């Protein structure tokens, strides 16, 4: 049945309340429990999500396992065409999905949510086109033996996604897994369950029943049983380092492969010869101020050469001050809200810690004056200067609109400061000197390094980190081949 467009996100959220999607159908949670999903801009309920537990996981995995066999036997290009068609249909729902994710996540529609919905669709089209690359090799082992390898799906994949960019991060897990011949059970984030549920509903128009299933619920009650289930043969997780360790330990008990995309404290190096206007714009985008800094790749450590430091800080403050904070569904809004009260309290606590540690606080932009938003989870962006390298705000991931600006004298000093972190997800360097750029990209300890730009995750760009930022890569052909298939070696003796 075609899924009709619904551009009122409040109506859509209500229609998606209280259900999982298993075997192509909406089903109520077995335990009958639901929980409130709040609009962070008003702190009011927009619906109630199904609270999944081990029984729901058992049902979903059983269905996925049964569906996976037939799905894997389809020709790879046929699977790819179906996944690409999902992307084309999702592209027709960009406005609808953008509004719904803005409502439940608090991210501004124009600057963040609609963009994310577009990238979601593109990711499915991209991976759909890679189906022909699921190929093996011939090996010159012995002239009397035909030796070759093939790529085979791993089976049922458990995909656990976070709340900050749930559409994109679901797509980079689900799309390659499906194209490779696996079935998938998604566990959504409890703060943002409805938009990803809607995506899965839309995709049911194209996919066979049971190939893609989605549960909502909490980590211990739903995510834990999914990771531990004996028939889940691969887990892809995006979230905090602490939870990532829990997932890794549980998966290790079964000796199954795991992809982990965890935290970050990404450096941005601005050399003395950099184009300062471009660098300031890059800091606005890289720090993800329009997303309230809620990004693993946020450039939260900005290292500026002493010759540019004061001018850079002044320009950055002016730019951030010009951003309008308001209702995420308003097209005029640049900055929305923090995801929930707990995260807002955490961010505000870090801001207080930064001031107590002796850093100079620059509080920017302005809170919305709309009385309807008085209870919303809004936080003014903060830039700290005069930050000590060992300060907590300089070392710990805040996941909010808080940036630390440091001053440096030499290139070596900048590289040393940039690498002095437990994280290694992303990094950027801003310079007009080619040699400086090349040396920096070699020496920076990060998995995703850019020069004179600060792009977010894109199809066909291998994405992932080192150190505590995680294991494995996503969003590329490599991720599909290495993380969602296993290689089988075949030898035919012809003597």
Q: Which residues are catalytic?
A: 261, 296
**H or E stretch including 195?**
helix 194-203
How many CB atoms sit inside 10 A of residue 214's CB? 28
DSSP-derived 3-state class of residue 101:
helix
| Main-chain phi, psi angles of 98, to 5 degrees | -60, -45
What are the residues facing 268 on neighbouring strands?
302, 428
Report CA-CA distances (Å) from 387 to 302, 378, 455: 11, 24, 26
- Chain centre to alpha carbon of residue 20: 21
* β-pair type (25-27, 20-22): antiparallel
Measure CA 88 to chain center. Answer: 21
Q: What is the CA radius of gyration of the chain?
A: 23
The CA-atom distances, in angstroms, between 66 and each of 72, 183, 202 are: 11, 9, 21
Strands (E), 291-430: 301-305, 360-363, 382-385, 402-408, 423-424, 426-430
- Rounded distance between C-alpha atoms, residue 119 and residue 483, angstroms: 21
SS3 360: strand
DSSP, residue by residue, 336-359: ---S-HHHHHHHHHHHHHHHHTTP
Q: What is the dihedral of CA 451, 454, 459, 462, to 10 degrees?
A: 50
The end-to-end CA distance of the chain, in Å, is 56
């Amino acid at each position: 049945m075609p899924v009709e467009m619904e551009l009122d996100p409040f109506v859509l959220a209500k229609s998606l309340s209280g259900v999982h999607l298993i075997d192509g159908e909406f089903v109520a949670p077995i335990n009958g429990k639901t929980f409130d999903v709040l609009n962070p801009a008003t702190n009011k309920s927009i619906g109630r999500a199904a609270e999944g537990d081990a029984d729901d996981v058992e049902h979903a995995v059983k269905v996925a396992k049964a569906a996976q066999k037939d799905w894997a036997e389809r020709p790879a290009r046929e699977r790819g065409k179906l996944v690409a068609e999902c992307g084309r249909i999702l592209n027709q729902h960009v406005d609808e999905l953008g509004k719904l994710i803005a409502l439940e996540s608090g991210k501004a529609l124009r600057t963040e949510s609609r963009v994310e919905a577009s990238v979601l669709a593109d990711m499915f089209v991209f991976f759909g086109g890679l189906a022909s690359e699921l190929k093996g090799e011939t090996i010159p082992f012995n002239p009397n033996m035909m030796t070759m390898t093939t790529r085979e799906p791993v089976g049922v994949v458990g995909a656990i996604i976070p709340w900050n960019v749930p559409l994109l991060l679901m797509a980079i897990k689900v799309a390659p897994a499906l194209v490779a011949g696996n079935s998938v059970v998604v566990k959504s984030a409890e703060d943002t369950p409805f938009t990803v549920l809607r995506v899965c509903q839309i995709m049911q128009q194209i996919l066979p029943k049971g190939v893609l299933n989605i549960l909502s619920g909490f980590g211990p009650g739903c995510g834990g049983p999914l990771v531990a289930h004996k028939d889940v043969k691969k887990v892809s997780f995006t979230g905090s380092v602490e939870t990532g360790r829990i997932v890794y330990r549980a998966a290790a008990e079964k000796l199954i492969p795991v992809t982990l995309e965890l935290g970050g404290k990404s450096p941005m190096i601005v050399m003395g010869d950099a184009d300062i206007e471009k660098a300031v714009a890059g800091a606005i985008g890289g720090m993800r101020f329009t997303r309230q800094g809620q990004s693993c790749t946020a450039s939260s450590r900005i290292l500026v050469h002493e010759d540019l430091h004061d001018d850079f800080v002044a320009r950055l403050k002016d730019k951030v001050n010009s951003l309008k904070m308001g209702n995420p569904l308003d097209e005029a809004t640049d900055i929305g809200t923090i995801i929930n009260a707990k995260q807002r309290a955490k961010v505000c606590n870090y801001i207080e810690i930064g001031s107590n540690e002796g850093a100079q606080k620059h509080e920017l932009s302005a809170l919305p004056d709309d009385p309807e938003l008085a209870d919303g989870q809004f936080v003014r962006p903060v830039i700290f200067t005069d930050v000590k390298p060992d300060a907590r705000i300089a070392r710990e991931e805040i996941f909010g609109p808080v940036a630390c600006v440091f001053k440096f004298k030499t290139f070596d000093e900048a590289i040393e400061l940039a690498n002095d972190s437990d994280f290694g997800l992303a990094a950027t360097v801003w310079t007009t000197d080619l040699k400086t750029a090349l040396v920096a990209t070699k020496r920076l300890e990060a998995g995703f390094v850019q020069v004179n730009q600060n792009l977010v995750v894109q199809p066909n760009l291998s994405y992932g980190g080192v150190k505590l930022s995680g294991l494995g890569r996503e969003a590329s052909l490599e991720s599909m081949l290495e993380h969602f298939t296993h290689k089988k070696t075949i030898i035919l003796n012809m003597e």
